[in-house]
Amino acid sequence: MFDTFKNRLEITGTLWTLTALRISSGRSTEPIGSDLPVIKDALGRPLIPGSSFKGALRSRLESFLRGIVGSDRKLVANPAVNDEWSLTATELSEFKEKTLKNVKQEEKENRLNDFILSNTDLVSHLFGSPWIASKFQVRDLTVQPDAWFGQYQERDGVSIDRDTETAADGKLYDFQVVPAGTPFEFKAVVENAEEWELGLLMIGLHQFETEQIPLGGGRSRGLGVVKLEIDKMRWVDVEDHPEFLLQYLKKLVIGDETAYEDAADYKDEWVQRLIDRLTPKETKSSETITQTQ
């Protein structure tokens, strides 16, 4: 899956905070300062971990797929529960013991790869699992340097006593937030993805573009509303065309932007491939019969 370069999609843009954002680094041990500071880079500037963005995106896509295909863990799994993975460690061990026991060594790897891929849920094909590497990589989102002036905000929080409905003794705390209107640099890369996997990604990114996926903590209080503005989607596909790969590598070295195509031209096609993948075969057959009548 990964041993031969086939295609690459590079996505760059800006993630804007529309409301204050809080991605906590845990409780502070400093004698002075916020009780719950936000996560920062080495220069003290706010940072959105790529894992936070990727995790929120993955969770939203899994919820969509459950609405389409149901709770079949072979199609949409729950990464938080081991027994609800699309392929559990027990199933993998049983396959190795029963099926690969008497297979020649040179055939074992191919059969094992086929078994893993055929039993991997749809989202994990793109985002990765304990058995396969992720095709989708998101860099940590760093704040744009010329737009940051150290303007953190401090907010107060308090636990409420359920009996008196007033502030509980000793439960007052404060937390730090990144203010609204802060721009973060966004960059993601996808390599060797199938067209339907790219369609899945396009749907997920559109959710960020339309402010549908919040980030961080305090979301019930209105925090974490963000908007993704994609500047470029650069695409190259050299599968089965070694001459295109040589041209691509040459253009990369000399900084020629024509090494890539504009992926916006392929978005509709990729989404359609995903729809085809999710459409039951019997439905396709009935639609074909209807069209021919």
Q: What is the pLDDT of residues 200-240, one digit of tens each?
A: 999 999 999 999 999 998 888 888 999 999 999 999 999 88
User: What average pLDDT does the segment 155-183 reach?
Assistant: 71
Higher pLDDT, 49 or 35: 49
Q: Say what the pLDDT of residue 229 is.
A: 98
Rounded Cα distance between 14 and 185, Å, is 5
User: What average pLDDT does the segment 166-193 reach?
Assistant: 83
pLDDT above 80 for 167? no
| Domain boundaries along the sequence of the chain | 7-86+121-292
Q: pLDDT tens, 27-38?
A: 544 544 455 778
Average pLDDT, the chain: 85
pLDDT above 90 for 266? yes
Least confident range of 72-76, 190-194, 197-201, 267-271: 72-76
Q: Say what the pLDDT of residue 39 is.
A: 87
Contacts 24+ apart (CB under 8 A), 90-97: 91/119, 92/116, 92/131
Report pTM: 0.85
User: What average pLDDT does the segment 31-55 reach?
Assistant: 82
Q: Say what the pLDDT of residue 139 is.
A: 96
pLDDT above 60 for 180? yes
**Band (135; pLDDT cuts 50, 70, 90):** very high
pLDDT above 80 for 190? yes
User: What average pLDDT does the segment 8-16 reach?
Assistant: 97
Q: Say what the pLDDT of residue 78 is.
A: 86
Q: Say what the pLDDT of residue 99 is.
A: 84
Q: Please report, for residues 113, 249, 256, 270, the alpha-carbon distance to residue 143 in angstroms, rounded to integers and kept in the order given.
A: 40, 31, 28, 31
Pairing type for strands 183-191 and 153-160 reads unpaired
Q: Which of 202, 204, 208, 210 is nearest to 267 (CA)?
A: 202
Q: Say what the pLDDT of residue 19 is.
A: 95
- Which residue in the block uniquely carries the two structure tokens 């843009």? 13
Q: Say what the pLDDT of residue 168 is.
A: 61
Pairing type for strands 7-17 and 226-237 reads antiparallel
Q: Say what the pLDDT of residue 127 is.
A: 95
User: What average pLDDT does the segment 87-91 reach?
Assistant: 87
User: What average pLDDT does the segment 123-150 reach?
Assistant: 92
Provide DSSP, 52-70: HHHHHHHHHHHHHHHHHHT
Higher pLDDT, 78 or 26: 78
